[in-house]
Each structure stands twice: as C-alpha cells, then as structure tokens.
C-alpha cells in the first residue's frame, strides 16, 4: 500500500469540528507550560539506561530542547492556561482535585479494555504524559526533583513529541488542501449519514469535475510528467466530457500520482513519465539520512526518478539526532578570521591517524556550497555561527531554535516528498536492504 497525506479526509473530519483542533493546540500549550516549569529539574536529570553513549545522546537532546527559543519566545502564550485558577476556591479545592484524579483513573481503566496491545500502550503512555504535565503544574517547584519518576518523565517527553507532530501535521494537511482548492469542499462520502452510507453522486458533467480534470492535467504538464501532445489530447477529452476521464478526475483528481498511473486505462496511447508499476527508476537510494535525502533531492531536481528505501519507520536516520551544527567555511566566517587552510588543518588534526587528506580536501572545499544549498534549496535556518571543540574559528552553522539535525531533515524530506504526487519518487519504509545483486562484471543490476 502507498501511504501518503490525505488532506481531503482531514477536511472531512475536522471542518465541522474546529473545537477538536483548538483542544489539540490547548493541550500542547499545557504540555509546554509544564515543560517550562520543570526545565531546571529536567536539565540536570541524570539519565541511566546502561548504555553510556545513548545516555549522553539523550541528555544532549533533552538539553537542546530545553534551551530552544520556543520556551522563551512563546512565554506569553503559556498564560492561555493557568492551573492556579482551577482550585482557587478553598471550599471545593480538595473535592475538585479528587474528581480530577478520578477522571484520569477512569480513562486509564477504560484503556485496559482495549484489545490491541500496541493501541493500549500508546493510550496509557499519553495518559501518563498528560498526568505528569498536570502533576508538574500542580506541585510546588521545590518538590519536583523528588516527585517525578523515570516512567513519568519518559511518558511526558513522548507525549510532547506526539503532540508536536500532530500540531505540525495539522498545518501541513491544511496547506496541502488549500494548495489544490480555492474553497472548502467536503467529499461525497463525508456528507452521508450513518443510517445511509450510500456514496452520493453529484454527476460527472458538473463544472467542479471539469475543473478537477483540467487542473490535474495542467499540474502534470507543469511538472513535466506528460508531453505537450498528451496535454492537448487530455484537455480536449475533458471539454468533450469524456466519461472515463471525468470519473477518474472526480475520484483521483486530487491525487496526481494515482491519476497519472491510471491515465493509460483511458487511452493506451497516452504516455506518462516518472515511476510506473512496470518501469524502473533512474536510481535506488538506500538510507534516508542527510546523505540519502540530499542525493535523492538532487536527482529529482534534475528530472530523474528515485526509489528511496529506509529500514526504519521514519525518515532521517541518525542525522535526525545531530545536535551541534554543520561545519563550513563560508564568506561570513571571514569576520572571525576563518579561512579554508585553517579548516583543513583543524580537520586533519582532529582525524589523527584516520586522516584521509583527499576526502578532507573535498569536505573543506565544498562545505560552503553544501551549507548554501541547505539554505537556498530547502530553506534551513543556519544563521547562527559557533566555535566548537577542535575548531580554531567560528564555523559551526546552526539554527536559531531547535536541533540542527531535526531542522535539516524536516526541510529536506519535505522537499523530497513534494515529488511523491508526481510519481517521480517512491518512498519505502520498514524495509531493510541486505545485499546487492550484481552481474558477471560486478555491476549492480
């Protein structure tokens, strides 16, 4: 199955229930308010899992989160929720607190009835995360250090992460929807009631379906996925209300990848480009760290097609965890006396016996172009310069807020995924590559 964003389904579910999205943002504010309050305790919290490297990485990531500008710049937003007002009346304070705890206990008990173990785990984790946030807000600051358990802290951070992803996806789905629509429209299925689940038909001769057909063809042509003669042919069929084309446009007009793949069913003479079920990509990229994503995006920008393979469920690999920055000698670094030869010498000295001069030279000489590409092509903020260990000048580029790895991967993968609808890239996750098949001459086939 092909997994991809479904902005229409998002609109169908939430266009009539904006309060659900407001509740999502309000919950996020509550979590961030608790994170801000607990920052002094969490900053010095000792992580011990038995793996020294993982412990150090987790500590670095947690401190980078706590140091992020959002906790400072959004200080005023946190006042949208004030826990002190909840139990202000002394007469009913104790009763209200007990009722509050009872609600959480009841929800947790309901989750015990869930049959899917994974669903139950995620539900319990979220409830513990919310409960921990409220515990932080209701407790005096001097009691936090001795009152939070390891499980509570783990659940708290996981809940913040999940909520952060949800808030981001609301924005992305909204932007995706309005990139292909000029007005709010619910799908036919969304308008049907529970008692009558028949798919309602608005016909295929309407102006809306014609608009969807012409829009889809125009998008394919603009992205170079159909040639000019095919474009002319399809537009002519659309205005003649070709039934097959109109039905296809009605149901797949907003999904260009599937629309493109199904076009040959209408007319076998129609030629499409990109990756098809029977075609071969120009490249197969294994791994979705920064190197894999950058290679993929460069191929796509040059008109090539790619199959991108990742063994994990999420894209980004270890690049997602990078927290320091990217070292590069750029023109603005000259303000601090930096120059290429100095960068080269520092890198050789740090590498020690593992030094490979020809690779170091390539790294140093192309560092400026790499950073500039990240800024210009994918819009990564790398405006902060810092001098880290092993460097004699300021040349570590990092964003004003957030971790550099997460910021870079988010922006690069977004640029890559923009090609998904056109069929130029196919992303496969949860797939491990174990070996390469070669022919008799040793070339990969």
Q: Which whole number is the average pLDDT over 228-255? A: 82
Tens of pLDDT, residue by residue over 121-149, are 888 888 889 889 988 988 888 898 889 99
Residue with tokens 């300021």: 394
* 283-286 sheet: strands from edge to edge: 283-286, 306-309, 425-428
The C-alpha atoms of residue 162 and residue 19 are separated, in whole angstroms, by 19
Residue 84 pLDDT class (50, 70, 90 cuts): low
Closest CA to 416 of 224, 285, 328: 285
Q: Between 416 and 276, name the one with better pLDDT.
A: 416
pLDDT of residue 96: 67
Residue 386 pLDDT class (50, 70, 90 cuts): confident
In terms of DSSP H, where are the helices of 44-149?
52-67, 70-73, 90-111, 117-138, 144-147
175 pLDDT more than 70? yes
Q: Which whole number is the average pLDDT over 169-195? A: 69
Q: Which whole number is the average pLDDT over 278-303? A: 88
Total-model pTM: 0.46
Residue 202 pLDDT class (50, 70, 90 cuts): very low
In this structure, is the dihedral angle defined by the CA atoms of residues 155, 161, 167 and 169, taken in order, positive or negative?
negative
Maximal CA-CA distance, the chain: 85
Please say whether the beta carbons of 425 and 300 come within 8 A. Answer: yes
| Beta carbons within 8 Å of 123's beta carbon, 6+ residues apart | 111, 114
Indicate the range of 74-78, 286-290, 323-327, 363-367 predicted with least confidence. 74-78
The C-alpha atoms of residue 137 and residue 131 are separated, in whole angstroms, by 10
In this structure, is the dihedral angle defined by the CA atoms of residues 203, 206, 209 and 214, taken in order, positive or negative?
positive
pLDDT of residue 194: 43
pLDDT of residue 115: 80
- Please count the other Cβ atoms lying within 10 Å of the Cβ belonging to residue 410: 16
Tens of pLDDT, residue by residue over 143-166, are 988 899 989 999 999 999 999 899
Backbone angles phi, psi at 73, to 5 degrees: -70, -25
Instruction: Kindly write down the DSSP assignment for every residue of 137-154, as one continuous string.
Output: HHS-GGGHHHH--HHHHH
341 pLDDT more than 60? yes
pLDDT of residue 291: 94
pLDDT of residue 83: 66
Please say whether the beta carbons of 38 and 71 come within 8 A. Answer: no
| β 306-309/425-428 pair status | parallel
């Amino acid at each position: 199955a092909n997994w991809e964003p479904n902005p229409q389904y998002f609109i169908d579910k939430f266009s009539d229930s904006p309060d659900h999205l407001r509740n999502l943002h309000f919950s996020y504010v509550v979590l961030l308010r608790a994170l801000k309050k607990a920052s002094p305790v969490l900053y010095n919290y000792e992580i011990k899992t038995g793996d020294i490297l993982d412990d150090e990485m987790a500590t670095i990531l947690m401190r980078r989160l706590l140091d992020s500008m959002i906790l400072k710049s959004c200080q005023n937003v946190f006042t949208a929720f004030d826990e002190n007002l909840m139990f202000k009346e002394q007469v009913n304070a104790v009763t209200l607190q007990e009722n509050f705890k009872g609600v959480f206990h009841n929800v947790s008990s309901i989750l015990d009835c869930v049959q899917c173990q994974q669903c139950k785990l995620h539900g319990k984790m979220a409830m513990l995360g919310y409960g921990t946030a409220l515990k932080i807000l209701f407790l005096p600051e001097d009691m936090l250090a001795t009152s939070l358990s390891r499980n509570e802290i783990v659940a708290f951070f996981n809940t913040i992460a999940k909520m952060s992803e949800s808030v981001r996806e609301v924005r992305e789905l909204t932007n995706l929807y309005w990139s292909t629509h000029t007005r709010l429209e619910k799908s036919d299925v969304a308008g049907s009631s529970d008692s009558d689940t028949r798919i309602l038909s608005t016909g295929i001769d309407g102006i809306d379906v014609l608009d969807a057909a012409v829009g889809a063809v125009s998008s394919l042509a603009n992205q170079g996925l159909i040639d000019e003669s095919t474009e002319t042919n399809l537009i002519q069929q659309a205005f003649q209300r070709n039934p097959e084309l109109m039905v296809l446009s009605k149901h797949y007009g907003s999904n260009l990848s599937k629309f493109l793949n199904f076009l040959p069913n209408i007319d076998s003479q129609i030629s499409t480009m990109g990756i098809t079920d029977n075609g071969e990509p120009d490249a197969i990229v294994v791994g979705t760290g920064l190197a894999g994503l950058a290679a993929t995006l460069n191929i796509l920008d040059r008109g090539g097609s790619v199959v991108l393979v990742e063994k994990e469920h999420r894209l980004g690999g270890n690049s997602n965890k990078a927290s320091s920055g990217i070292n590069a000698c750029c023109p603005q670094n000259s303000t601090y006396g930096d120059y290429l030869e100095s960068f080269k010498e520092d890198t050789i000295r740090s590498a020690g016996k593992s030094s490979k001069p020809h690779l170091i030279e390539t790294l140093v000489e192309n560092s400026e172009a790499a950073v500039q590409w990240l800024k210009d092509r994918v819009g990564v903020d790398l405006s902060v310069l810092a001098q880290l260990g092993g460097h004699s000048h300021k040349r570590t580029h990092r964003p004003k807020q957030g971790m550099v790895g997460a910021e870079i991967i988010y922006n690069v993968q977004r640029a890559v995924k923009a090609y998904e609808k056109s069929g130029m890239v196919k992303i496969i996750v949860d797939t491990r590559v174990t070996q390469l098949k070669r022919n008799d001459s040793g070339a990969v086939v």
